[in-house]
Amino acid sequence: MRILVTGAGGQVGSEVVAELERRAAERRRSSPWRIVATTRAQLDVGSRDSVLAAVTTVEPQVIIHAAAWTAVDDSEGDPDRAFRVNALGTRHVAEAARLVGAHVCYLSTDYVFDGLSDRPYTEWDDPNPLSVYGRSKLAGERELGAASTIVRTGWVCGRNGQNMAKTVLRLASLQAILSFVDDQHGSPTSARDLAVKVVDLALWRRPGTFHGTNQGSTTWFGFAQEVLRLAGHDPERVVPIATADLDPPRPAPRPACSVLDNAALRLSGDELLPAWEESLARLVDDLLGE
Ligand SMILES: NC(=O)c1ccc[n+]([C@@H]2O[C@H](COP(=O)([O-])OP(=O)(O)OC[C@H]3O[C@@H](n4cnc5c(N)ncnc54)[C@H](OP(=O)(O)O)[C@@H]3O)[C@@H](O)[C@H]2O)c1
């Protein structure tokens, strides 16, 4: 089996590679796997020539496409970069995959929704992104054929890269009071848990769109309180504010409620990811142990 991973230097991509390496080690004696992990420096998905050359050289059976320009606020000021990487880059991956018969698994986002729903979004709800980033990721989804796997996730935190869990821990060591918004709802998701599900779906070549998040939901205020509690700090040091009170305001609008019902997994009888609090506890332990 040959598997190519894009965005392997990112939060999710690095955990996908770790999960693949773990599985490959288990089966080394039967049929060996070749895992080709590519970072942006090694493979810019915005370059059609580079993607076609890499994929036709490796001839993977599966491509896990985790590369993206994920700078949600910066994307507002540079939509061309967002669309070049997230939409056109996915077109290149899809084209190259077709040439070698590879199955593509693409990571997408809860930000494809507008957040106006009063219930969690299923895979069959209509997207309506509010931001350039959300639009570029939805455009990426639309570059893929029906046989591909799309995994939408949200509020990802892992050991590698930048994320809100790390931000909360850093701020907790710098300031007495922390302010976090209490009017954006989502499901914090462990990069490691997500990677396990992504690898399963990719290797099973499961077609269609899946929502993959940890179970349960909270606000960034609730999330920050939980991180403080897990790290042994007083959670009352976090105060709730409204998005409208952020100073300076964030350039990109966020959905007020982007909780994803993992309906396709649930209705298929697939195992769901654990509760977000459980996975966050493991992550905070890891981060404090570093
Ligand atoms: N983080 C979240 O909360 C979240 C939520 C929903 C969905 N997602 C989706 O999950 C996937 C993984 O996100 P993540 O959290 O792992 O983000 P991340 O840590 O920012 O990783 C994305 C990786 O893609 C790389 N990249 C950027 N431009 C590229 C290019 N032109 N060619 C190749 N690689 C490029 C980045 O490299 P550099 O760092 O060198 O630029 C980075 O290593 C993305 O598709 C994202 O849209 C993430």
Query: DSSP secondary-structure letter at 260?
Result: B
Work out the average pLDDT over 137-154.
98
Residue having the nearest C-alpha atom to atom 5 of ligand 1: 154
Residue 128 confidence (pLDDT): 98
Residue 235: what pLDDT? 97
Tell me the CA–centroid distance for residue 12 and ligand 1, in Å: 8
Which residues are 105's β-sheet partners? 64, 149
- The answer to whether residue 200 scores a pLDDT higher than 80 is yes
Q: What is the pLDDT of residue 125?
A: 98
**Phi, psi (degrees; rounded to nearest 5) at 159:** -70, -30
User: From ligand 1's centre to the CA of 236, what distance in Å?
Assistant: 33
User: What pLDDT is attached to residue 1?
Assistant: 93
Q: What angle do CA 22, 8, 210 make, to 5 degrees?
A: 80
Is the predicted pLDDT of residue 258 greater than 80, yes or no? yes
Amino acid at 78: D
Residue 133 a catalytic site member: yes
First to last CA, the chain: 34
Give the pLDDT band of residue 290 (cuts 50, 70, 90).
confident
CA nearest neighbour of 62 among 16, 18, 104: 104
pTM more than 0.85: yes
Euclidean distance between CA atoms 218 and 171, whole angstroms: 20
Residues 3 and 64 sit within 8 Å (Cβ to Cβ): yes
Cα→Cα distances 55→13, 79, 218, 290, Å: 17, 27, 40, 36
CA of 10 to the centre of ligand 1 (A): 5
Asked if the model's pLDDT at residue 184 lies above 90, the reply is yes
Task: With a cut of 90, say whether residue 28 has pLDDT above it.
Answer: no
Residue with CA at minimum distance from ligand 1 atom 32? 44
β-bridge mates for residue 34, sequence order = 2
Ligand 1: which residues within 6 Å by Cβ? 6-7, 9-13, 40, 43-46, 66-70, 85, 89, 107, 109-110, 137, 153-156, 161
Average pLDDT over residues 270-285: 97
Lowest-pLDDT choice from 37-51, 206-220, 245-259? 245-259
Residue found by looking up tokens 């059609």 in the block = 48
pLDDT for 30 beyond 80: no
